[in-house]
Amino acid sequence: MGLQQAKLESLPFVTAELNYLAPTPGKPRTYAFDPPPGEPKSTALPEPHNVPIFDARLIAANLSLDREGFALVRHPTIVRNFYDDKEVRNVYYPAVEAFLKATLKADRVFIFDHTVRKRVEGAADIRGAGPRQPATRVHVDQTDKSGASRVREHLPDEADELLKGRVQVINVWRPIRGPLRDAPLAMCDGQTVEPGDLVASDLIYPNRSGETYSVKYNPNHRWYYIPEMRTDEALLLKCYDSATDGRTRFGPHTAFMDPTTPADAPPRESIELRTLVFHRN
């Protein structure tokens, strides 16, 4: 049974502000560096909406990547310092690769990057200028176009063969310090997302352009979060799925300011890995 049929009124929830995409002429675009003179940093402007965000801990065992588009997993780690890039790549990458391969029954998993975030009050999320900040707009990391392009970008010699099978982009998100109370992650039930809610948006880098989905407000969206996540827990977030058989293909998500967060809660520290997950059929 999908979460839509569950008795949502029985779940605890908080009401919080989420930043959707405001109507904009043309395709939204955002510069990942200082924009050219006279150009705005982004044409993707926020449209805030207050929405209920339900506590998914009580139904975590029933969450499905293929249905809701996200899942909570237990995943202890021996990594001592997530701010050590070498340790993350040498220790964490292989562990996550093996875990995803077993958990998702995949033929192959390829990790193509990671991002460490530490919230600093009032700081902007600018690459290369201090720690990365929580992403506070509703988005999906990939689009129908860019999901497949990731395979060609990272595994060019094998791409044609790999793209004959099923390809997913799955993010693995976890707190570095827990229990996490500050700026948690909210996930939208993919079953409540209409295709027209997703707006392809350009992300412009100095040497290339990427494409993500911004998300328009839909009152039918149903949002969930996992309160007080521990360091031995992780969220799997579906950002792309080549399968077009009715499974959820894109999972919108965003950080949010939980109004119940204690004033003395430590700032959020988290790490996300972005992975390509392959199935031959």
pLDDT 10s digits, 265-274: 999 999 999 9
Q: Is the pTM of this model over 0.85?
A: yes
Please indicate whether residue 35 or residue 277 has the higher confidence score (pLDDT): 277
pLDDT 10s digits, 208-234: 889 999 999 999 999 999 999 999 999
Residue 109 has pLDDT above 90, yes or no: yes
In single-letter form, the type of residue at position 127 comes to R
Domains and their CATH numbers in the chain: 3-279 (2.60.120)
- Say what percent of the chain tops pLDDT 90: 86
